């Protein structure tokens, strides 16, 4: 079945460590997105990519990095520079304006 796969679903990290969240889609969508979700704050855009080998910062890009080497993949790295990384991270893709979401990855910093 077509869809978006995020892994891992749950991740624990010690302070000072980088961690990479995986996002893979088989919908043949050009655009992909990473959102961060915190309680009571809705979803905030971290990075997005409209085409392979190109990506743009969203509203809260500091402390995060991404790559888009393949159309199907858009991994997100949460670096040690991100001061408050504990959150629920959602990956999405789109073709005609409608976003399709993965199941999310919950990152907890210990």
Partner 1 sequence: AQSVTQLGSHVSVSEGALVLLRCNYSSSVPPYLFWYVQYPNQGLQLLLKYTTGATLVKGINGFEAEFKKSETSFHLTKPSAHMSDAAEYFCAVSDGRSSYKLIFGSGTRLLVRP
Residues that bind partner 1 (CB under 8 A): 4, 6, 31, 33, 35, 40-45, 48, 50, 58, 88, 90, 92, 94, 96-104, 106
Distances (CA, A) of 76 to 42, 104, 107: 19, 12, 12
Q: Check if the beta carbon of residue 35 is closer than 8 Å to that of residue 44.
A: yes
Nearer to partner 1 by Cβ, of 9 and 70: the residue is 9
Q: Provide the minimum distance between the beta carbon of 16 and partner 1 in the complex, in angstroms, as a whole number.
A: 27
Nearer to partner 1 by Cβ, of 17 and 95: the residue is 95
The 10 Å Cβ neighbour count of residue 63 is 15
Q: Provide the minimum distance between the beta carbon of 80 and partner 1 in the complex, in angstroms, as a whole number.
A: 26
Nearer to partner 1 by Cβ, of 4 and 66: the residue is 4
Q: Is 53 helix (H, G, I), strand (E, B) or coil?
A: coil
Nearer to partner 1 by Cβ, of 44 and 80: the residue is 44
Distances (CA, A) of 20 to 33, 87, 90, 105: 15, 14, 13, 11
Interatomic CA distance for residues 21 and 13, integer angstroms: 12
Q: Provide the minimum distance between the beta carbon of 104 and partner 1 in the complex, in angstroms, as a whole number.
A: 5
């Amino acid at each position: 079945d077509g869809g978006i796969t995020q892994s891992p679903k749950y991740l624990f990290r010690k302070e000072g460590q980088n961690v990479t969240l995986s996002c893979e889609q088989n919908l043949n969508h050009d655009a992909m997105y990473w959102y961060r979700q915190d309680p009571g704050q809705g979803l905030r855009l971290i990075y997005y990519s409209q085409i392979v080998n190109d990506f743009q910062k969203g509203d809260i890009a500091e402390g995060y990095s991404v790559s888009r080497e393949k159309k199907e993949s858009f991994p997100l790295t949460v670096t040690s520079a991100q001061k408050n990384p504990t959150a629920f991270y959602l990956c999405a893709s789109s073709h005609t304006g409608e976003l399709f979401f993965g199941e999310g990855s919950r990152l907890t910093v210990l």
